[in-house]
Amino acid sequence: MTTLAFDIPSPTSRQETLARLDALARLLDSAVRVPGTNVRVGADALLNLVPGVGTFVAKGLASYLIVEARRHGVPTSTLLRMAGNVAVDFAISAVPVVGWFGDAFYRANQRNIALLRAHLQRRTA
C-alpha cells in the first residue's frame, strides 16, 4: 500500500528551496518598478489583465508556494494563514480595475514567503 509521504528536506535543500520560492514570490509580487514611482508590480498584477484565466494562473502559482511549505513541515495553522493570504489576494484580484491596483499593494506571496522563512528559522534554532 502506497501512502503520500513528504520527504523531510535537508538544510541545504531548504536553503535552495527558499531561494527558489523567494524568487518566484518576487516575480509574482514585485518584479518591475512602475516608471516614475517607487511602486513595484509583478506577474500577479500583469496576469490579472488577462480576463478570467490570468487570475487563476497567478493563484495557481501562489498555491505552489503553499504546497512547498507543506513539504517543509509548516504547521497546519500557518498553512491556513498562507491560504488566507492567497484567498484575500484572489478576492482583491476578482474586482475589475480595483484588483489591478490592489495587487500592487497586497503582496500575498511575499507574506507567505515571510511565514515560511520564519518557520524554517524556528526549526533550525
Residue of higher predicted confidence among 103 and 87: 87
Q: Do the domain assignments include residue 60? A: yes
Q: Do the domain assignments include residue 24? A: yes
| pLDDT for residue 6 | 54
Number of domains in the chain: 1
Q: Do the domain assignments include residue 2? A: no
Query: What is the extent of the structural domain holding 111?
Result: 12-30+40-124
Label residue 104 exposed, middle or buried (CB < 10 Å: 0-12, 13-18, 19+). Answer: middle
Instruction: Average the pLDDT over 112-124 and give the result.
Output: 88
CA atoms within 13 A on the CB side of 78: 22
Q: Do the domain assignments include residue 78? A: yes
Q: How confident is residue 10, by pLDDT bands cut at 50, 70 and 90?
A: low
Name the pTM for this structure: 0.82
Query: How far is Cα 53 from Cα 31, in angstroms, rounded to an integer?
Result: 20
Query: How far is Cα 113 from Cα 106, in angstroms, rounded to an integer?
Result: 14
Q: Do the domain assignments include residue 98? A: yes
Q: Do the domain assignments include residue 1? A: no
Q: Do the domain assignments include residue 118? A: yes
Q: Strands 32-33, 40-41: parallel, antiparallel or unpaired by DSSP? A: antiparallel
